[in-house]
Amino acid sequence: MTAACLTAPPQPAASTPERAGVALDTSIVSLAEARDALLPWRRLFQSCAAANPFYGPDFLLPLLEFDPRAARLRFVLVRQGQELLGLAPILPGCIGLPGLWRQLSVYNHPFIFNSLPLLRCGFEAQGWAAMLEKLAASYGGGVLGLGPSPLDGPVVQGLRQALAQSHRAHLVTTQSERAALAPADGKADALLSAIKGKTMGKLRRHERDLGKLGKLEFRAADRGPALAEAVEDFMALEARGWKGRQGTAFASDAASAAFARRALGASQGAPGVRVETLRLDGRPIGACLHLAGPGYAATFKIAYEEELARHGPGVLAMLGSLRLLGTEAWTQRLDSGASGEDAVGAIWRDRLPSGEMLIALAPRQGEASLRLHGSAVALAERARRGLRDAYYAVTRRRRTLSRKAKG
């Protein structure tokens, strides 16, 4: 998917809704009210320059059905008439430190590694400004937490512009680089050549060894019965591995299986879903599950056949994704959600800056207050991670990639 506004010339300032004299309506609504705006929500998703696929309604609404926090969730909506120009799911928290009053968070979940709101292309700064003003007025100041997210692109640029114009303080609390793919001009040649010779030689040996066992092929499915079948194959492959033994695979319980089938197998396109599968004699042995929006896509999950682990079916699936992206150019940027130091980083050589952020809703709240708040949050998080590490050490359970990212 591509976003036309990424290459279109800048529009004159008078064309923006506020300056054209069109009234904007910013409101905070319940989950039920947000669900009633399903069609405008889908149109908003398709009108973004870099749509966050985790906040597409066809993924987020099924996810919320088995999240006990959903009853507390609120949505900030920015409207122009009947059309949505912006949407952000917000989770109100408890009372915070003195002077900050309350902790709010853009909705996050172990399945999610991008917390950027949906904002119509060209409306990013105005949309952020409207949302921050509404949150400040409704919650009496406080701090807004933005979970692990890309720290570049039009939505973050719009946020920085809105913060500067409103004199609001912000603090980036964590920073890292994720492995990603962003082929120039839709070509993957440069990305393939960036893989180190030793690594590429090992991958080719894996391909040759698997080829001796049977016919090796790589397929992609992104719609219709083929997609539904690919999702079922992915779920079965995942369940055969350590996630299945640990009980964290989609197929491990009825609720998560129902979520996967609804959110992934019958997608309405907001987000798009794409499953790329490495097959040996027709049998899935490695797979990547991607969520796609205009301008940006995220690799949601990866699975592989453990019986063939010595042949690297998981990394070969990642290599297949790189090759297909070069020939089909189905997204402008593919975010692995994993650190550049992870195994995928040896194959996906582009890097995407990411991190977490705290935003002061009241202009009088300075960076020093945010640092104090951030220190308290970090202390609590370290304690939580220590308890979590102890739990996994005692039980000897393995952590999924999303859980590792969150400690």
* Per-residue confidence in pLDDT tens, the chain, 407 aa: 333 353 333 333 333 444 444 578 999 999 999 999 999 999 999 999 999 999 999 999 999 999 999 999 999 999 998 899 999 999 997 555 454 456 899 999 999 999 999 999 999 999 999 999 999 999 877 889 999 999 999 999 999 999 999 999 999 989 999 999 998 766 778 888 889 999 999 999 999 999 999 999 999 999 999 999 999 999 999 999 989 998 889 999 999 999 999 999 877 789 999 999 999 999 999 999 999 999 999 999 999 999 999 999 999 999 999 999 888 889 999 999 999 999 899 999 999 999 999 998 887 776 767 777 666 666 656 666 677 777 767 776 666 544 333 33
172/197 same-domain check: no
C-beta of residue 159 within 8 angstroms of C-beta of residue 117: no
156/29 same-domain check: yes
362/326 same-domain check: no
217/138 same-domain check: no
Q: Give the phi and the psi of residue 93 in degrees, each rounded to 5.
A: -110, -160
341/392 same-domain check: no
Give the residue numbers spanning the domain of 287: 181-352
243/94 same-domain check: no
45/67 same-domain check: yes
How would you classify the pairing of strands 216-221 and 272-280? antiparallel
d(C-alpha 190, C-alpha 173), whole Å = 33
C-beta of residue 302 within 8 angstroms of C-beta of residue 317: yes
- Following CA atoms 364, 366, 368, 374 in sequence, which dihedral angle do they give, to the nearest 10 degrees? 100
Joined tokens for residue 44? 């908003």
Q: Of 337, 352, 367, at which residue does a domain stop?
A: 352
Amino acid (one-letter) located at 66: F
d(C-alpha 95, C-alpha 106), whole Å = 16
The CATH number of residue 221's host domain is 3.40.630.30
Q: Choose among 173, 212, 303, 296: nearest CA to 250.
A: 303
In angstroms, what CA-CA distances link 375 with 98, 99, 125, 294? 14, 15, 28, 36
140/115 same-domain check: yes
d(C-alpha 40, C-alpha 118), whole Å = 12
Output the pLDDT for position 94. 54
109/196 same-domain check: no
Q: Of 352, 369, 393, at which residue does a domain stop?
A: 352
Output the pLDDT for position 329. 84
DSSP string, 377-406: HHHHHHHHHHHHHHHHHHHTPPPPHHHHHT
Number of structural domains found in the chain: 2
- Tell me whether residue 83 is exposed, middle or buried, using C-beta atoms within 10 angstroms of its C-beta: 0 to 12, 13 to 18, 19 or more: middle
158/245 same-domain check: no
Show Cβ contacts of residue 262 under 8 Å, excluding neighbours closer than 6 positions.
Answer: 62
Output the pLDDT for position 11. 34
341/369 same-domain check: no
211/322 same-domain check: yes
